[in-house]
Structure 1
Amino acid sequence: MGEISIKKLDVVFWFSAIAISLLVVIGAIAPKAFAAVASEIFNFTTYAFGWFYLLSVLFFVLFCIVLALSKYGKIRLGRDEDRPEFSFFTWIGMLFSAGFGIGLVFWGIAEPMSHFFTPPRGTIDALGEEAARASMQYSFFHWGLSQWSVFTIVGLAIGYFQFRKKEDGLISTTLNPIIGTKNRSYIRKPIDILAVIATVMGVATSLGLGILQINGGLNVVFGIPNNATVQLIIIFVLLILYLASTTTGIERGIKYLSNLNLTLALLLMVFVFFAGPTVFILNTFTLGIGDYISTFFTTSLRLTPYKGGTWVRDWTIFYWAWAIAWSPFVGAFIARVSRGRTIREFVFGVLVIPPVIALLWIAVFGGTALHFDLFGGTQIAQAVDKDVTSALFATFAELPFTFILSVISILLIFTFLITSADSATYILGTMTSGGSLNPPLLLRVIWGTLMASIAAVLLLASGLEGLQTASLVSALPFTVILIAMCYSLFKSLRKERGMARRNRMEK
């Protein structure tokens, strides 16, 4: 299928490309009106269905854990004799890079300091000891098992049907046990089109936000102006680099970049751990883990129907909507790099390892920033409240080797963006070429160029916020699709085990 001609591409490609182009034109011509309408729709869906998001994500966590510990845990994503294609370190690096690397670098300090400045509960005084503890508890919760359970569900379903059942890698195909194996394009096509649109809009806005952070860092470190011209130059350089990586294939470009990303991130984290308040970080991590475990169920189902307020919607429900909207891209990518692993290995690797790295990262970077504000008299929380992109560099200003740390961080953000964009071009190519494991290079280049163009247009028009909010509206229908995936996967696994048992009895 790698030789598919562009002329033969089906309605998923053409409808997605046209719909995205129209949204971008509207976002560029009337960014404020577009953002307002998108925000109204998103606010309504999260207000009316916030309970549904919370219950669903908690169900996903429990489903993944039970499935991994059950008799189905030994089943491989592939044939029984298949073995993993990538080493464990490379695999984790790929999960880390595609799943949340850039988000963690951005929010690792910004989120705990935001909660420190505006506590999650109104009974807590801002900028105090209890606010610091609550800030770490909620940051751990938002970057822990819950977010990654969403990616695990999609990755498991796609990996199982693609590699075990030899089906294509489309989102709609994971629902075969429910909708049947006949064409039924009136059900399949809308699901796949929605997946493509959500992926393109999500990745394009992430590119835009990452570019803003890189420009902010270059401004702080080198005094380079923070303006549209510089941002367009950054976009162009990014485009050239990730298209160059795309031409090398997933076995080389993404593999090497993922290893580089994980190595740089771990080196940066180890340095800050020892250069910062080491004992405080260890204490913060230990207490944070305890708070995370002891309050997991109450936090997972926390709503405020009696006193009102939007904090839970602005943070927890927003995060779950973001994860669900991104799940087609992240899930499809981690499925692609996980062939040969058992369900148990997959769940452990995807649901546990990345969250552990995330919690360590937040404890090291967020804990260091909290320590400076609590005991050093700094005002990092106030700086973050004014400009969320300043979090990382405001903290580095209080550490030794500020310049080197800032340069490494800018490089890390840059390589994360390249890896995410490269991964996205591959997955979008797969989604719009009938699920091909080797989508045409020209198709990947088209999607890569389109994403960079969207980011550029919306940066110039200040329309990023509208597109980001619009992409999250897709989370509501995708939540229903994810629940259906769980049922579909379990039904297929149960059928496979039943057939295997009957075959053994007949022998």
Structure 2
Amino acid sequence: MRKTTPVFYISIVIALLFIGWGVIPESVLPQFHLAKVSGDIQNFLVYKLGWFYLLAATAFLVFCFVMIFSKYGNIRLGADDEKPEYRYRTWFGMLFSAGMGIGLVFWGVAEPMYHFYSPPVGEAETAEAARVAMRYAFFHWGLHPWAIYAVVALALAYFQFRKKEPGVISRVLRPVLGERVNGLTGIAVDTLAVYATVFGVATSLGLGAIQISGGLSHLSPSIPNSFATQLVVIIVVTVLFMLSAQTGLNKGIKILSDTNVRLAVLLMFFLLFAGPTNFIMDVFTTTIGSYIQNLPSMSLRLSPFEQSEWPRVWTIFYWAWWIAWAPFVGSFIARVSRGRTVREFMIGVLLVPTIFSALWFSVFGGSALYLEMFEGADIMETMNESGIEMALFSVFKHFPLSTILSGLAILLICTFFVTSADSATFVLGMQTTNGSLNPSNSVKLTWGIIQSATAIILLWTGGLQALQTASIIAAFPFTIIMLFMMFSLLRSFKQETFMKKK
């Protein structure tokens, strides 16, 4: 613990206070319960400042494309002659596993089904509704979220590996804020990043436990889909990711990331060829074209004349959620991207995960829509009766080897679960030890226990949704920080370009 900073202790106190707040029964504090207070704040931000989230997310995407095609794309994230630390396959696996792997498994079937039955425009349960459902699934998991991650990751990697600054969020802002990053302003910025990471990851651990529990119950009805099962899942996974965390970045996370990619590709291609292959590939091809064609209008779509809640419930909520995750995922992507050029980094972070996500939704969401529209399946009914976590397994039962598929899916969720938690303990260790590239095991152990304990307590009290909302509240101030990050990068890039010319 010798290298810990004030951010470490302040963040632990804040985490414990929020956990304590979350477990207080609503009957004790009816007006000031965590769920009510965080919900009211989130509603205010979404309804009053939804336009700000849309404009900011679009600005981040434009910035990323400018970096690809500008002269700054040749700048290397490290010394001019430095080589990348990881080969492409391992690099892609690491950034994808930490970024949204477990979310794809959870929402790959569920989101297109939701949009099919409740589309943003037009009539539900029609061919047009199915087209729109797939397009918005691509949109919510495509270029915009990865642009959000890329801005944070690029800034951290550039200032840490090229400018030799500590790898914490506050030091990225030095060109804009000056020496204030060394004082209370810097501590506040870094504490906000840790806060968003702790609660965002704890929420995902809870959701992952729910889906693993549901999958085990689906495979063996004797196993109840209950809090007791979820508790056992979290304890087992906690032991696994803490063991992985002790081995360091080049062993545990690296091996698990490669395993994740292999399992995900195996599951996806089996379903692709066992299912309606032509239909799936037609959906992929058509939706890619529709997504690109409609990207500008979807990026800035609100419904002021229709007074529709849909953009706020889905798109704005997603953008806030990705921004809340950006300190965690951005820090991790930065750590594994040393030695790459800005152009190589941006192309890899933006395009590869976007294409993989599009193919994933085409296979799983496309199969679900095919079964629902042409085979008379009852996938949505299963989701309504048994929970969202059962959506994936309700699709598998219509294919051969369904039990094996369900078992592989549970294994994939577990490995994504372990990788995300392992990555989070690594990032939290970095952020609370002044950017140490190899934080001590004691620091990582502390954050691992806090994350898992938070997920367990809030699953038990039903406060997981409240914690998710509370974590997303951090997205608003962090959006402003990200805008400052872009200005810091541009200012530094201009100085570097001038130095090269001179």
Instruction: Find out whether 1:27 has 2:14 as its counterpart.
Output: no
What amino acid is aligned across from residue 293 of structure 1 in structure 2? Answer: I
For residue 421 of structure 2, what is the aligned residue in structure 1?
421
Distance 1:384 1:39 in 2: 25
1:115-130 paired onto structure 2 within 5 Å:
115-121=115-121, 124-130=122-128
What amino acid is aligned across from residue 144 of structure 2 in structure 1? Answer: S
C-alpha offsets along residues 144-187 of structure 1, whole Å, 9 cap, x if unaligned?
Answer: 10111000000000000000001100001110101114654121
Distance 2:239 2:329 in 1: 23
For residue 97 of structure 2, what is the aligned residue in structure 1?
97
User: Relative to structure 1, is the Cα distance of residues 476 and 182 closer, same or farther in structure 2, using a 3 angstrom cutoff?
Assistant: closer
For residue 258 of structure 2, what is the aligned residue in structure 1?
259
What amino acid is aligned across from residue 263 of structure 1 in structure 2? Answer: R
For residue 391 of structure 1, what is the aligned residue in structure 2?
391
What amino acid is aligned across from residue 214 of structure 1 in structure 2? Answer: I
Instruction: Find out whether 1:56 has 2:56 as its counterpart.
Output: yes
C-alpha offsets along residues 371-404 of structure 1, whole Å, 9 cap, x if unaligned?
Answer: 0011001121232344211110010011111000
Contact persistence 1:96–1:354 (CA under 8 A): yes
For residue 272 of structure 1, what is the aligned residue in structure 2?
271
Q: For residue 127 of structure 1, report the CA deviation from its aligned partner.
A: 1.6
Distance 1:140 1:385 in 2: 23
Distance 2:139 2:455 in 1: 30
Distance 2:315 2:228 in 1: 35
- TM (normalized to structure 2)? 0.97
SS at match of 2:108: helix
C-alpha offsets along residues 39-63 of structure 1, whole Å, 9 cap, x if unaligned?
Answer: 1110110111110110111111111
User: Relative to structure 1, is the Cα distance of residues 183 and 137 closer, same or farther in structure 2, using a 3 angstrom cutoff?
Assistant: closer
For residue 367 of structure 1, what is the aligned residue in structure 2?
366
Q: Which segment is superposed worse, 417-426 or 24-33?
A: 24-33
Distance 2:365 2:41 in 1: 33
For residue 344 of structure 1, what is the aligned residue in structure 2?
343
C-alpha offsets along residues 110-140 of structure 1, whole Å, 9 cap, x if unaligned?
Answer: 100010111112xx22222111111001111
Contact persistence 1:114–1:385 (CA under 8 A): no
Structure 1's consecutive aligned runs of 4 or more residues displaced over 3 angstroms after TM superposition are 181-184
For residue 505 of structure 1, what is the aligned residue in structure 2?
none
For residue 301 of structure 2, what is the aligned residue in structure 1?
302
1:172-321 paired onto structure 2 within 5 Å:
172-181=170-179, 184-223=182-221, 224-321=223-320
For residue 6 of structure 2, what is the aligned residue in structure 1?
11
SS at match of 2:78: coil
User: Relative to structure 1, is the Cα distance of residues 487 and 258 closer, same or farther in structure 2, using a 3 angstrom cutoff?
Assistant: same
Distance 2:103 2:493 in 1: 34
Distance 2:241 2:313 in 1: 32
For residue 485 of structure 2, what is the aligned residue in structure 1?
485
1:405-444 paired onto structure 2 within 5 Å:
405-444=405-444
Show structure 2 runs of 5+ residues with no match. none
Distance 2:266 2:117 in 1: 29
Show structure 1 runs of 5+ residues with no match. 503-507
Count of residues in correspondence between the two structures: 495
SS at match of 1:180: helix
C-alpha offsets along residues 393-440 of structure 1, whole Å, 9 cap, x if unaligned?
Answer: 010011111000000000000000100000000000010011111111
Distance 1:91 1:139 in 2: 25
Contact persistence 1:321–1:476 (CA under 8 A): yes
Contact persistence 1:383–1:390 (CA under 8 A): yes
Distance 2:450 2:60 in 1: 33
What amino acid is aligned across from residue 162 of structure 2 in structure 1? Answer: R
SS at match of 2:61: helix
Distance 2:229 2:182 in 1: 48
Contact persistence 1:117–1:385 (CA under 8 A): no
Distance 2:447 2:162 in 1: 28
Distance 2:339 2:383 in 1: 44
SS at match of 1:338: coil
Contact persistence 2:156–2:169 (CA under 8 A): yes
Distance 2:225 2:303 in 1: 40
Contact persistence 1:13–1:432 (CA under 8 A): yes
For residue 111 of structure 2, what is the aligned residue in structure 1?
111
Contact persistence 2:23–2:457 (CA under 8 A): yes
Instruction: Give the alignment partner of residue 134 of structure 1, picking from 115, 132, 135.
Output: 132
SS at match of 2:173: helix
User: Relative to structure 1, is the Cα distance of residues 286 and 216 closer, same or farther in structure 2, using a 3 angstrom cutoff?
Assistant: same
For residue 452 of structure 2, what is the aligned residue in structure 1?
452
Contact persistence 2:170–2:181 (CA under 8 A): no
SS at match of 1:295: helix
User: Relative to structure 1, is the Cα distance of residues 440 and 270 closer, same or farther in structure 2, using a 3 angstrom cutoff?
Assistant: same
Q: RMSD over aligned Cα, in angstroms?
A: 1.1
SS at match of 2:83: coil
C-alpha offsets along residues 312-361 of structure 1, whole Å, 9 cap, x if unaligned?
Answer: 01100011000000000000000000000000110011011001100000
SS at match of 1:173: helix
What amino acid is aligned across from residue 313 of structure 1 in structure 2? Answer: R
Contact persistence 2:141–2:354 (CA under 8 A): yes
SS at match of 1:421: helix
For residue 463 of structure 1, what is the aligned residue in structure 2?
463
What amino acid is aligned across from residue 198 of structure 1 in structure 2? Answer: A
SS at match of 1:304: coil
Instruction: Give the alignment partner of residue 164 of structure 1, picking from 162, 165, 172.
Output: 162
Q: For residue 228 of structure 1, report the CA deviation from its aligned partner.
A: 1.8
Distance 1:286 1:390 in 2: 28
Contact persistence 1:216–1:389 (CA under 8 A): yes
Q: For residue 307 of structure 1, report the CA deviation from its aligned partner.
A: 2.0
Distance 2:479 2:393 in 1: 36
Contact persistence 2:113–2:369 (CA under 8 A): yes
What amino acid is aligned across from residue 395 of structure 2 in structure 1? Answer: T
Distance 1:382 1:120 in 2: 20
SS at match of 2:391: helix
User: Relative to structure 1, is the Cα distance of residues 339 and 454 closer, same or farther in structure 2, using a 3 angstrom cutoff?
Assistant: same
Distance 2:181 2:308 in 1: 46
For residue 400 of structure 1, what is the aligned residue in structure 2?
400
- TM (normalized to structure 1)? 0.96
